[in-house]
Structures are given as structure tokens and as C-alpha cells.
Amino acid sequence: MTKQNHRLQDMMTCFRRRWSTAPDVRKPSNNAQYTVADGILAAFAVFFMQSSSFLEHQRLLQSKKGRSNARSLFQVEEIPSDPQIRNLVDPLSSAYFQDDFWYLLDQMKEQQHVLQFRNGLNTYAIALDGVSFFSSEKISCSKCLKREDRSGVTHFYHSAITPVFVKPGQSQVLPLPPEFIVPQDGSQKQDCERAAAKRWLAQHQQHFSNHSVTYLGDDLYANHPLCQLLVETYRQFFIFVCKPESHPGLYEWIAFLDKNNGIEKVTHRHWTGKSGEIWRYRFTQQVPLRNGSDALQVNWLELVITQEETGEILYQNSFITNHAITMTNVIHLAQLGRTRWKIENENNNTLKTKGYHLEHNFGHGQQDLANVLTSLNILAFLIHTIQELSEPAYQRLRRALGPRKTFFNDLRALTRYMVFDSWDDLFSFMEEGLDIAHVPP
């Protein structure tokens, strides 16, 4: 990929080169008409185009015209069938694709596009959350988790944590490599979200300098070992939701300080355009996260939003952080803490409902197929987001066509009937048809 831009054609050339080295466990005597790289690229094309029938249409174009968009746009030399794709991809490890995320993100950083995610605390915020993307009572594999419901029925399912860069006021999120919650070798306990978060940190913290990241998460992450790890080992910041019912020792301190004027308070009035709201902040410094003399000292803040006329509570939440809290930054801290919801709305829900069909069973396999396909799906989402943030032609088309659905409908229709030599040619054709080729960004 060139260092000057994020052209899709360059990205696909890079992926072809990278995935051509993917492990091939097939025996030499097996039919090797299709390479592993063709299997990966073909699967990726389905997710990128958000079309389960994309490859079928390209096979038809290949038979009629002797060429296809699968080759020209996605570098697929020979188009495998769906069962062949699953067989080629199933033996791979989902971890194999982590470097592809970082290659793209490092390019974003090098070209300073990632600066768009720098927040008011002079850090980058990474929201952590878990998502489930497969469930069945019958289909399972070695990477499945399982649970038993009240009626005794066993459910097999797949889950992952899907970290993303977020920023208040920024509509896009930047997906990072997922970490899959899977049975761990040598462990009798079922894997969990917290353990997956610790693995993710151990693998990827090297990409961040000290005190450059603020991790965001719900109450599950406001856990003493994890917070201590972030502070003492990884030298990073956190803002985690902190509920009274899960942190009784800390809230005994809060109650004591409140009675003895040890809680600082800030109040602001906001006008929504229709009604007034009162935003009340309370905060204090250096309270123990749990009972015990060795407890980590954290800073606590609360935000309560009420309707001015009625006093109705519209929002209430509290957080713990290792950022110092002052009268001047408490608003920024609360705003950033609340931004963790973007991982659900802008990432997980987008992957489930905006064309990526994350919860659809594209293929379960016997090894790591489900997790590999999910990695490729999220990678496609990352590339779409990078295009939105950095590539003028993509930006112009998205503005002209409006809804995401319209843009992808047009891509699918055009590539079903016509073959384009490159992504640049496809985008130029669309711009000329819409008469927007010379409209400035």
C-alpha cells in the first residue's frame, strides 16, 4: 500500500501479497486449483460488498465476458465455491489477521488521519465491550462457548470483545483487532470478557505509548485486577462505569465523604431547544476501589441530568478513573465516559444491522472458521471507515448518495452487470453518472 493515500486498489494489492503467505495445511495430493489467498479474498469480497451473492454474479460475468470484478477489484485469481472457501479458510487462525488491522491503523497514524480521534484529555479513547455473534442448540465447534438455560438446554455460542477508537462528537469509530472469547487450553473455567480484555492488552499494548490511551468500559471492567493492570503495568488511563451494587466498599467511602463535605460539585444548565436540563456533577479524588489496605486508589465522578421543570431524572451514571478530576475537566471526563456507548451503537449495532450481518452464520466449520470470517467482516468495516475519513472520491459519493444502503445498492448493481478495471475506474464512473466529479469536498 502506498504511503500517500488509502486507495482501495492499493489495499487489495497489499492484502493479496500478505495473504499469499497464509498457511496451507492441505496435503500435496489434494486438488490445489484454488489458493488459500483466493479463499480469503473471496470471503472478504462478500463482506466488503455486503452481498452474499457477489461471487455468484462474478462467476457469471467470468463465464460470459472472460473477466470479473472479483479479480479486478479484489485480486481473486480463481473464484472458489462457497464450500471451497470454507474449507480453505477454516484451518486458519483468527489471530493471523490482527496484523492487517494494525497495518491499516498505523498508516492512518502516519498520515495523521487518526488525529481526528484525539480527545479533549489529550489521549485516544478505546472503548471495550463484548458482543455475541452466533448461537445454536445443535451446531458447535471447538471454539464455541456453551451455557445451559433454565430448562436444561445447552446453547453453543461465539463471542468476542471488539475494541474501537471513539471520540465525543465523532460519528465514526475505528475498529481494532477483535479478541475472541474461546475455551483456553489448560483451563477448566470458561473464558470470559475480562480475561479476553487482558489478553487483548497483552498482545496490543505495544502499539501505544505511555499515557496515550483512555480505556472506556461498563461496570464489568471496573475490576480491581484490570484497573491495576492498566495503571501499573501498561501506564494508561481508564474511565469505567462504576455501580454501587458491585462496589459497596467504594460507595461506603463516597457516603462518608458526602456527609463530611468531601464531595465537590458542579452544576450547569443546558437548553435543548425545547426545554431546560440541569446537569449536576459530583466528584472526589483518591478513594479505594475495594476494601483492603492494598486497594488501588481511584477518582470518582457522577453525572445526574434532570428535566428543569419537573425534576425528572433523564440520565444518571457514575465512573471511576485514574485521570485527575478538576473543576475544569470534570465535564470532559464525564462526556468521554459516556462515549463508551458508541461501541454498541456505532460498532456492534452497525455490524449487526447495517449490512454486515454479524449474527448471520456464514459458516461454522470445525476449527476457527466462524472467528476468521468475523475478523474479515470487521476488517471490511474498518476499511469502509478509513475510506469515509480519508478518501475524497469515496467521501463525495457517500455525500451525493446519502444513506449507506443506497451507496452499497449502487455498488452491487454496477458490479453485477459491468466489469471495472479498478476501484478508481468504478468510482469515476459513479461520479460521472452523478455529475459530481468536480464538486470540491
Question: What is the full DSSP assignment across 18-70?
Answer: HHTTS---S-TTS--SS-HHHHHHHHHHHHHHT-TTHHHHHHHHHHHHS--HH
In the DSSP assignment, the letter for residue 150 is T
Total of domains in the chain: 2
Q: Which domain holds residue 295?
A: 240-328
Residue 377 CA to chain centroid, in angstroms? Answer: 11
Q: For residue 38, tell me if it sits in a domain.
A: yes
Q: Is residue 212 part of a domain?
A: no
Choose between 420 and 349: higher pLDDT.
420
Does 44 have pLDDT greater than 90? yes
> Do 1 and 85 belong to one domain?
yes
Neighbours of 367 (CB within 10 A): 17
CA distance 47 to 208: 29
pLDDT-derived band at 114 (thresholds 50, 70, 90) equals confident
Quick check: helix, strand or coil at residue 118?
Answer: strand
Mean pLDDT, residues 58-82: 95
Identify whether 408 is part of a domain: yes
- At residue 339, what is the residue type? T
Model confidence band, residue 361 (pLDDT cutoffs 50, 70, 90): low
Residues 320 and 396 both lie in one domain: no
| Lowest mean per-residue pLDDT among 252-266, 336-350, 407-421 | 336-350
Inside any domain, residue 440 = yes
- Domain co-membership, 1 together with 78: yes
Confidence label for 1 from pLDDT (cuts 50, 70 and 90): very low
pLDDT tens profile 194-209:
999 999 999 999 999 9
Nearest CA-CA partner of 196 in 246, 159, 233: 159
Q: In this structure, are residues 104 and 386 in contact, taking their beta carbons and an 8 Å threshold?
A: yes
Q: What is the DSSP letter of 366?
A: S
Give 178-184's long-range contacts (Cβ < 8 A, gap of 24+). Answer: 178/94, 178/374, 178/375, 178/378, 179/203, 180/94, 180/143, 180/371, 180/374, 181/130, 181/145, 182/143, 182/145, 182/371, 183/142, 183/143, 183/144, 183/145
The alpha carbon dihedral of 404, 383, 209, 96 has a sign of positive
For residue 231, give the nearest of 286, 191, 161 by alpha carbon: 286
Domain boundary residue, one of 328, 343, 373: 328
Q: Are 179 and 197 in contact (CB under 8 A)?
A: yes
Helix axes 36-49, 54-65, angle to 10 degrees: 110
- Other beta carbons within 10 angstroms of residue 247's beta carbon come to 25
* Helical H segments across 229-290, by residue range: 248-259
Average pLDDT value for residue range 380-408:
93
pTM of the model: 0.91
How many Å apart are CA 107 and CA 117, to the nearest integer?
A: 14
Give the position of cell 443546558: 270
Write out the E strands in 81-221.
Answer: 124-127, 130-136, 145-148, 154-161, 164-166, 174-175, 179-181, 213-217
Q: Is 290 left (phi over 0), alpha (psi -120 to 50) or beta?
A: beta
> What digits encode the pLDDT tens for the residues 233-279?
999 999 999 999 999 999 999 999 999 999 999 999 999 888 999 99
Residue 320 in any domain: the answer is: yes
Q: Is the residue at 244 inside a domain?
A: yes
Residue 349 has pLDDT above 60, yes or no: yes
Domain ends where: 310, 328, 346? 328
Sign of CA dihedral 114, 118, 123, 127: negative
377, part of any domain: no
Contacts of 86 (CB under 8 A, 6+ apart): 363, 365, 369
Among 113-127, 146-160, 180-194, 196-210, whose mean pLDDT is lowest?
A: 180-194
pLDDT at 3 over 50: no
135's CB contacts (< 8 A; 6+ apart) are 155, 156, 157, 158
| 46-60 burial: b if 16+ Cβ within 10 Å, else e | bbbbbbeebbebbee
| Cα–Cα distance measured from residue 44 to residue 216, given in angstroms and rounded to the nearest whole number | 30
Q: What percent of the chain has pLDDT over 70?
A: 93
Q: Is residue 119 part of a domain?
A: no
Last residue of a domain, one of 302, 328, 354: 328
